[in-house]
Chains A and B, each alone.
Chain A
Amino acid sequence: MDSKINDKLKILADAAKYDVSCSSSGGKRKNDNKGLGNAEGMGICHSYTEDGRCVSLLKILLTNFCIYDCAYCVTRKSNDIKRAAFTVQEVVDLTINFYRRNYIEGLFLSSGIFKDADYTMERLVRVAKKLRQEHKFNGYIHLKTIPGASDELIKEAGLYADRLSVNIELPSEKSLQALAPEKNYSEILVPMGSIKQQLVQAKEESKLFKSAPVFAPAGQSTQLIVGASAESDQQILQLSDQLYKGYSLKRVYYSGYVPVSADNRLPIITEPPIIRENRIYQADWLMRFYGFDVKEIVDEQHPNLDLDIDPKLSWALRNRHAFPVEMNTADYEMILRVPGIGVKSAKKIVSARRFAPLQFEHLRQMGVVLKRAKYFITCQTKSLQRQDYESDQLRRKILFGDGSARSALLTQQLDLFRQVG
C-alpha cells in the first residue's frame, strides 16, 4: 500500500513540476472556524529544490493519463512513460498530513485530461470541496482549470479554490496549432474570461453583502512556455501586457522550455533558456511594479531582450537623455527607473531626504547598490563619475570593468552559444 503511494507520488510530482507557479500569497482565507490552516496574507516558501525554485505547495497531477498529444508536454498521449492516478482520498490525505507538519502552504492540483474536460474538472473540484468541507481546511488551494470545462464547474471551483489558472502555454495561436493541435486559443481564453467575470461579480456582491461567497480570492494566473516556439520577447511581453490589462491576471508565469521530447516540431536545444526566462521575468516586473510600458522595454528595433544586461539597464542605455537623476529632487517614479535601484531603496531615498540632503555615503549606508546606479545619478549635483561615457562604453564598463564578475551561468551559456555558432 505504502509503496504504491510512493510510486504514484513520484510519477505525478514529476509530471507536475514543469508548471512553475508556486505562489501561495494573496489569499484572504482566515482560520475562523477553528479548523486547520490559515491562508491570509503572505505566502511562505517551505523549501527550495536544488534548481533553486520555491516549494510552497504540494504540486501534483491527479493523473497523467491524457487524451491530448501536445508536443511540448511530458504527459502527452504518445509519450512512452509510466502512468498513474491518485484517488480523491489519497490527495486529501497527503495534503492534510503534509500541511500539519508544516511542509506546505497548500495544494496545487492539476491533471492530464482523461475522458473529457468536464469529467476531469469535476474530480479536481471534488478534492477541493472535500478539503474545505470535510476537513475544515483553510490552507491554500490552487486549481488548474481544464480548457473546455463548463462554466458551472469553473464557478464551483472558484468557491473552494484560492487561485484558478488556465495555462496558455504557447505565446501565439500559430504555435499552438503546430504543437498542440487539439487545443485552440478560444478554448483557453473563454474560461479565462469567465473567471475574470466571476471575480468582478464576486467583488461587486461582497460590496453589497458581507456574507457573499468569495470566488478565488487570490485571482487567476497563467503560464507561457519560453523557447519551445519561435516567438520574440516582444510578442511574449505584449501578450502578457494584454493579459494583465484585459483579463486582470495576478501573474503570468514564464517557463523556460525544458527538452522533454524529441518531437520534430520542437527546436533542438540542449539546455533550458534560463537566462532568457530570467530577463523576461525582469521585464514583467518592470511592467507591474516599476511603471514601465511594454513599448519602452521591447519595440520593433529591439524585439528581443539583451541577455547580457537587465532590461532596466538596457532601457537606461537607450535613454541617456533622462539621466543623471538627482537623488535629492527627482520624483519617486524617476528614481525607480535608475538601474540597480529597486522599490525598497527608492522608498528609503524619498523618505530619508526629508531629513537631510543626501550624499553618496548616505546611500551606501542605506544599502543602495551603487554598482550600476553610480553612472546614472547625482547627489547634490555631485557625481561619482569623473568623465562622461558613451552608452556602449558604459555597457562594457558595467559588464567587464571595475571588477564586475559576470554570472558563471551566463558565461557558461554564452560560451556554449559560441561553440555552436
Chain B
Amino acid sequence: MHLYTYDGSFEGLLTVVFEAFERKAWPTAIEQEQVAQPSMFGDTIRVVTDEQKSGRVWQGLQRRLSKGALEALYYTYLWEQSGFEQLVFDYARLAFESEESIEGNYTATCVLQVQQIHKQVHREKHRMEAFVRFQKSADGLFYATITPDFNVLPLIIRHFERRYADQRWAIYDTRRRYGAYYNLVSTAFINLETQAVSPKRYGVLTADQYDAEEAKYQQLWQVYFDHVNIPERKNPKLHLRHIPRRYWKYLSEKQPRQLKNLS
C-alpha cells in the first residue's frame, strides 16, 4: 500500500510518476497534500515537485505519445474529478511499459477513460468559448465571469487572444477564484480576491461601472434572439439539449426582458 501526496500541480503529478518508477512502488492512491488523510495501512510518500524529474517524465511521454494523446492526458488533469491522478498515472505507466503505441487501444480501461475525459473537457472548453458573454466596462475593458464544470480557463485563453487581439478583456472563474487578463500584448493570470469585497461580488460590476452603451447592446441582443425564433417550430427538448440550464446564467439572451421591449 503506497499513498503518494503531491502539491496539486501537473508537474507535481508527473514527479509522482517519476518517484513511483524509481521505487517500483506503484501507488494505491494519489492525493493532494492539503486534503490527504494519513493512511492507516502502508506508507505515505510525500512527493516534492521537481522540474527535472517531471521534465524527464514528460519527455519520455512525448517520445511515446502523439500530440493528441499528450493533450488528452493534460485534459485529464484539468478534469479534476475524483480519481484523475490515478488515471493519469495508469495511462503514463501503460505508455512506458508497452512496446507499441497504446493510443486507440480502447480495450484498456484507462485508455478508454482518458479518451472519454478528453472529449468531456473539450466539450466544456468549446461551450465556454461559445457561451462567455463579455460586458463592456466604462474604461473599455470587456469582462466576463465563468464557473465551468472543469478547469478549462487555461485552455480557452489562446482562442480569445486570437479573436480579440484589439480589445482588452478579462475572464474570471468565480468558482476556482482566478482569472485571465489580456492587455493587448499578452495574457496573465490574475487574482481579484480582496478583503473589501465579499466573494459573491467578485466579477460583478455595479451599474456605474458599465460602458454607456452596454445596456443598449444587451437589449438589442435580446430583441434579436426573440425574433430569430420560429414559434411554429418550437422544440424545448432540443433547445435544452443544446444549452442545458446550468449555462443560462452566462447568457444575456436568457435573462429577464425589460418591460419596454416586450412588445
**A and B: partners?**
yes
Q: Name the residue on A nearest B261 (C-beta).
A: A6
Query: Is A414 close to B, CB under 8 A?
Result: no
Pair B229/A51 contact, Cβ less than 8 Å: yes
Choice from A5, A49, A256, A351 contacting B229 with Cβ under 8 Å: A49
Query: Is B236 close to A, CB under 8 A?
Result: yes
CA A94 to CA B116, docked complex, whole Å = 39
Query: Is A272 close to B, CB under 8 A?
Result: yes
Query: Is B162 close to A, CB under 8 A?
Result: yes
Please provide the chain A residues from 22 to 74 with a CB less than 8 Å away from any CB of chain B in the complex.
30-31, 34-38, 42, 44-55, 58-59
CA A271 to CA B231, docked complex, whole Å = 11
Pair B239/A49 contact, Cβ less than 8 Å: yes
Choice from B167, B213, B216, B230 contacting A17 with Cβ under 8 Å: B230
Pair A2/B242 contact, Cβ less than 8 Å: no
Q: Decide: A351 near B104, CB < 8 A? Known: A6-B223, A34-B165, A49-B228.
A: yes
Residues of B within 8 A of A18 (CB): 230
Query: Is A97 close to B, CB under 8 A?
Result: yes
Residues of B within 8 A of A102 (CB): 132-134, 144, 163
CA A48 to CA B235, docked complex, whole Å = 11
CA A348 to CA B234, docked complex, whole Å = 35
Query: Is A208 close to B, CB under 8 A?
Result: no
Query: Is A371 close to B, CB under 8 A?
Result: no
Q: Decide: A17 near B228, CB < 8 A? Known: A45-B242, A103-B221.
A: yes
Residues of B within 8 A of A31 (CB): 162-163, 165
**Would you give the shortest CB distance from B205 to chain A, in whole angstroms?**
14
Choice from B107, B142, B163 contacting A352 with Cβ under 8 Å: B107
Query: Is B243 close to A, CB under 8 A?
Result: yes
Pair B112/A366 contact, Cβ less than 8 Å: yes
CA A222 to CA B252, docked complex, whole Å = 31
**Would you give the shortest CB distance from A411 to chain B, in whole angstroms?**
13
- Segment at the B interface, from A7-15, A75-83, A167-175, A283-291: A7-15
Residues of A within 8 A of B107 (CB): 352, 355-356, 358, 362
Q: Is the interface of B mostly helix, strand, loop or mixed?
A: helix
**Would you give the shortest CB distance from A194 to chain B, in whole angstroms?**
30
Query: Is B33 close to A, CB under 8 A?
Result: no
Q: Name the residue on A nearest B171 (C-beta).
A: A102
Pair B217/A52 contact, Cβ less than 8 Å: no
Q: Name the residue on A nearest B260 (C-beta).
A: A3
The digit string for A247-262, where 1 denotes a CB below 8 A from any CB of B, is: 0000000001011000
Residues of A within 8 A of B165 (CB): 31, 34-36, 38
Pair B227/A52 contact, Cβ less than 8 Å: no
CA A35 to CA B166, docked complex, whole Å = 6
Query: Is A114 close to B, CB under 8 A?
Result: no
Query: Is A123 close to B, CB under 8 A?
Result: no
**Would you give the shortest CB distance from A52 to chain B, in whole angstroms?**
3
Q: Decide: A52 near B242, CB < 8 A? Known: A97-B217, A101-B142.
A: yes
Residues of B within 8 A of A2 (CB): 216
**Would you give the shortest CB distance from A104 to chain B, in whole angstroms?**
9
Q: Show the binding face of B for A, using Cβ within 8 Å.
A: 104-108, 112, 116, 126, 129-136, 142, 144, 162-167, 213, 216-217, 219-221, 223-225, 227-239, 241-243, 251-253, 261
* A-B complex: 4 closest residue pairs judged by Cβ atoms: A52-B238, A351-B104, A51-B233, A48-B242
7 contacts between A and B (CB under 8 A): A37-B163, A47-B130, A52-B239, A52-B241, A94-B220, A103-B221, A258-B232
